[in-house]
Chain A
Amino acid sequence: MKLAISISGNTLDSPFNARFGRAAAFCIVDTETGAWEAFDNPALSASGGAGVQASQFVAKHGAQAVVSGAFGPNAFDTLAAAEIEMYLAPGNEAHTAAEIYEMFKAGQLTKAEAATHEGHHGVHH
């Protein structure tokens, strides 16, 4: 399956970025072959709705799971609709995408079952 990891940079050795919608890029790893590709996150410059845009972006690239440090409500709803599993990795210590990938394979990451924080646009109702 394809795993997306939010990163700053463009290789598997780039640092893990704990933000999802506003991550600089995503590294997408094929867990069967170990092959990876990095893509700049188009939502980085979005004026709003970055979580929704980033979610659609990783879905378009075929990700079935994603690792980040946090998922807002809109990102959570969009990724859940796409049936993409969300995993949380600690953002307070420096890790490379490769290290995060090893932690994922070792089953050390917890699954996000709900949004981890409130939206950045206030509560609508």
Chain B
Amino acid sequence: MRIVVASGKGGTGKTTVATSLALIAAEQESVRFMDCDVEAPNAGLFLNPVLDTRKDVGVLIPKVDEAICTYCGKCAEVCQFHAIAVIGKKTLVFPELCHGCGSCTLVCPENAISEHLDVMGVLESGRGAQGIDFSQGVMNVGEPMAVPIIRELKKWEVANLPFIEIRDAPPGASCPVVETIRGADFALLVTEPTPFGLHDLKQVAEITHELGLPTGVVVNRDGIGDNAVQAYCDENDIPILMRIPMERRIAEAIASGTPLLEAAPEYRPYFQSMLEIIVAAVGA
């Protein structure tokens, strides 16, 4: 079972909720945790994994053998991203535009194109707290595309699918978030009861709706803002599975890297029942 934790808005508490959900699930079952926020992966700060396995990732960039190339231009024609151009007797490759789809290599009638890995980041994995099978993608600074790294992270199954896989999504509602959500069985959307939380919640809820994914909401910093998130969820039949009130002691603990479950053990039953609801929703 794959649960993705997303939010739209940054800083709502995705990682706080995802890591505590993983910790409670790991008390009974095998859990894999995947930090898909490859631009700023930080779930490891709560789960303290020993990262002992690494793998370079990137996209396969074409390399043209000028001795064989006849400058027919078929590669440039097929490229949807204009990452390869044939001008007179020159073939130019623009690695930063390439999505690594391999179409140019396939269509080249002379077999003049070979592919080489253009490293964009690294995948890391290891055991974390309570034996959680932890993995994360780390994108190199300055890289424009997170999706290929997230895609590789999802494919990088060190072991078989455990009972539960939890994916911590990046903020936003664009391609990296869609890639993280794709293939999941349940979306848990963490929001805050403010116009900003609601605005971005709507964007992500539209994505999960479009993908036909069962969805639930966690309202973090409950008590601030207004009731518009509640109204939106009621209107769209999205259940609110948990509320975490705005409390200084929780904020302080999380700011020092203590998981919510440890800082506020009275939330254990709420996480437990939320997990049960999710398992039941996916099973049905």
Interface stretch, picked from A4-12, A31-39, A106-114, A115-123, is A115-123
Report B-chain residues with C-beta under 8 Å of the C-beta of A78: 85, 87, 92
Indicate whether A56 sits within 8 Å of B87 (C-beta atoms), given known contacts A49-B94, A81-B92, A121-B96. Answer: yes
Indicate whether A56 sits within 8 Å of B144 (C-beta atoms), given known contacts A49-B83, A124-B96. Answer: no
CB–CB B76/A124 < 8 A: no
Report A-chain residues with C-beta under 8 Å of the C-beta of B81: 47-49
Report A-chain residues with C-beta under 8 Å of the C-beta of B116: none
CB–CB B94/A52 < 8 A: yes
CB–CB A122/B88 < 8 A: no
Any chain B CB within 8 A of the CB of A85? no
Any chain B CB within 8 A of the CB of A82? yes
Nearest A residue (CB) for B144: A122
User: Which residues 51-109 of B have a CB within 8 angstroms of A?
Assistant: 76, 79-83, 85-88, 90, 92, 94-97
What is the bound-complex CA distance between A119 and B142, given in angstroms? 12
CB–CB A81/B88 < 8 A: yes
What is the bound-complex CA distance between A50 and B86, given in angstroms? 15
What is the bound-complex CA distance between A107 and B251, given in angstroms? 65
Indicate whether A77 sits within 8 Å of B92 (C-beta atoms), given known contacts A56-B76, A123-B142. Answer: yes
Contact of A53 among B82, B86, B92 (CB under 8 A): B82
CB–CB A46/B142 < 8 A: no
What is the bound-complex CA distance between A91 and B79, given in angstroms? 31
Indicate whether A74 sits within 8 Å of B87 (C-beta atoms), given known contacts A48-B82, A121-B144. Answer: no
What is the bound-complex CA distance between A82 and B80, given in angstroms? 21
Count, A-B residue pairs, CB within 8 A:
63
User: Which residues 39-78 of A have a CB within 8 angstroms of B?
Assistant: 43, 46-50, 52-53, 55-56, 59, 74, 77-78
Indicate whether A74 sits within 8 Å of B88 (C-beta atoms), given known contacts A48-B81, A124-B144. Answer: no
A: contact size bracket: 20 to 34
Indicate whether A121 sits within 8 Å of B85 (C-beta atoms), given known contacts A77-B92, A81-B92. Answer: no
Any chain B CB within 8 A of the CB of A125? yes
CB–CB B87/A124 < 8 A: no
CB–CB A50/B82 < 8 A: yes
What is the bound-complex CA distance between A78 and B142, given in angstroms? 23
Contact of A124 among B85, B88, B92, B95 (CB under 8 A): B95
Report A-chain residues with C-beta under 8 Å of the C-beta of B96: 119, 121-124
Contact of A52 among B90, B97, B142, B144 (CB under 8 A): B97
Report B-chain residues with C-beta under 8 Å of the C-beta of A56: 76, 82, 85-87
Report B-chain residues with C-beta under 8 Å of the C-beta of A124: 95-96, 118, 142-144
CB–CB A82/B87 < 8 A: yes
Nearest A residue (CB) for B97: A49
Q: Which 8 A-B pairs have the closest CB atoms?
A: A49-B82, A122-B144, A124-B96, A52-B82, A82-B87, A53-B82, A49-B97, A81-B87
30 contacts between A and B (CB under 8 A): A47-B80, A48-B82, A49-B81, A49-B82, A49-B83, A49-B94, A49-B97, A50-B82, A52-B85, A52-B94, A55-B85, A56-B82, A56-B85, A78-B87, A78-B92, A81-B85, A81-B87, A81-B88, A82-B88, A121-B96, A122-B96, A122-B142, A122-B143, A122-B144, A123-B96, A123-B142, A124-B96, A124-B142, A124-B143, A125-B142
